[in-house]
Each structure stands twice: as C-alpha cells, then as structure tokens.
A and B are shown apart, each in its own frame.
Chain A
Amino acid sequence: DTGVSQDPRHKITKRGQNVTFRCDPISEHNRLYWYRQTLGQGPEFLTYFQNEAQLEKSRLLSNRFSAERPKGSFSTLEIQRTEQGDSAMYLCASSPGFWAAGNTIYFGEGSWLTVV
C-alpha cells in the first residue's frame, strides 16, 4: 500500500502524559498536513509543511503541540501534558508538488487518541 500511513492507529494515555504520532506521506509528496477530528465534527486543520518547512499553524495548535518534518519525508506530531480535551482522531494528509486549488489531498486513516 503506497497511501499515507499513520502510526499508531490507536493510543490510550493517561492525562498528563506525552504522546507522539508518526505520519509517512505518499512518496515524493512535498506537502504534509495535520488535521484533528472530534466525534461528530469535520476535520479541522492544524498545520502543514512544505518539505521540511512548517509554513502555517492553526490557532488550534496550542503550545503543547509540536510538529516536525525533519528530512522532508515523515512527520511527527507530539502532544505534551495531554488533557482530556485532546481526545480526538489525528489525521495526516499529503499532496504533491506545487499547491493549486485543483489538487487532491490524500488522507491517512488517522490516529485515535483517548486521554483518560
């Protein structure tokens, strides 16, 4: 399968612990996005990378969240000192090359986080 891959698919953690999610985009896709989705809502944009550069962060991305894409390939999303409100599905997506409004974005299957 050469789609967007996310790991782990499910994570249960205790409040206050740190968690990290990994995303492997489709090979050669320059752009990588992170979204968050809570139950009953559509996905919400968090941040995106063009190669290794993080170019935009949503105001939803509090200072407890940090995302990296060190070599312009895979990316990690770390949440420090998790809170119950962080429980959600974290979606990674990628798209090829130069962005245009007609481009397709390819999503992974998501990483479910439950904070207890």
Chain B
Amino acid sequence: DAKTTQPNSMESNEEEPVHLPCNHSTISGTDYIHWYRQLPSQGPEYVIHGLTSNVNNRMASLAIAEDRKSSTLILHRATLRDAAVYYCILVSGGSQGNLIFGKGTKLSVKP
C-alpha cells in the first residue's frame, strides 16, 4: 500500500474550521483515501473516504487534489470532542481491509 505523510500535530480553536493535510504522492488509480480518528482511550472511528471527487458527510468534508497526490480533511467547526489523532490511510483495491495506519496527526482543540 502507498504511504501517506501527515503533520505530527496541529492546534485549533473551538468553533473554528480545521484543515488537516495529507500527502500521498505515490497513490495509485484504485486507491481510496480513508480518514479515521481515534479519541483518547478509544478505538479508531471512521470519518470519511473518497476516491476522486470531494466528499461531504455529517462529520467532515474531504477535499482531494486534482492529481490525487494530496487531500485535506476539513472539520467545519471544531469542538472539544474533535480532539483526537486523525489518520489518513490509502486503501487499495486489492487490500482485504488490513488498514496500514501511520502515526497520524494529533489535533488539539483549545476552548
């Protein structure tokens, strides 16, 4: 599976938008971009995923660059509950669900 690069940490203020970047320059045409997050002392939680087009759901938006070599997870209004480690993961068409997690980005939200 292709690798992703994320900043180790980011800070945000409550109720402000947050843009979490992810680089995946070696992405292949069939790789999906998935985002999971992990709150303290909990298991990872699915956030959003996409292939080529931007995606929106109730939790977040995913903006995918035209060349697909990078993507950005957007939290529109950060809350204290959004403080977590966010993982950007590429999932290939041939994978069997064995996700390869990096270290992710630790997001801190200040009140």
In the assembled complex, which residues on chain A have CB atoms less than 8 Å from the CB atom of B45?
107
Residues of chain A whose beta carbon lies under 8 Å from any beta carbon of chain B: 4, 31, 33, 35, 40-45, 48, 55-56, 58, 91, 93, 95, 99-110
Question: What 8 pairs between A and B have smallest CB-CB spacing?
Answer: A42-B101, A107-B43, A45-B98, A101-B32, A101-B91, A104-B46, A107-B44, A101-B93
Across the interface, do B97 and A95 meet the contact criterion of CB distance under 8 Å? yes
Alpha-carbon separation in the docked complex, A35 to B101 (Å): 10
**B44 contact from A43, A55, A58, A103, Cβ within 8 A:** A43
In the assembled complex, which residues on chain B have CB atoms less than 8 Å from the CB atom of A42?
85, 87, 101-104
**A33-B97, A41-B103, A45-B98 given; A91·B43 CB < 8 A:** yes
Chain A contact surface mostly? loop
Measured CB to CB, the closest approach of chain B to A106, in angstroms, equals 7
In the assembled complex, which residues on chain A have CB atoms less than 8 Å from the CB atom of B56?
none
In the assembled complex, which residues on chain A have CB atoms less than 8 Å from the CB atom of B95?
99, 101
In the assembled complex, which residues on chain A have CB atoms less than 8 Å from the CB atom of B25?
none
Q: Please, what's the 1-or-0 string for B80-111, where 1 marks a CB less than 8 Å from any CB in chain A?
A: 00000101000111011111111110000000
Alpha-carbon separation in the docked complex, A106 to B92 (Å): 18
In the assembled complex, which residues on chain B have CB atoms less than 8 Å from the CB atom of A35?
99
Across the interface, do A109 and B101 meet the contact criterion of CB distance under 8 Å? no
Measured CB to CB, the closest approach of chain B to A98, in angstroms, equals 11
Alpha-carbon separation in the docked complex, A56 to B99 (Å): 13
In the assembled complex, which residues on chain A have CB atoms less than 8 Å from the CB atom of B93?
100-101
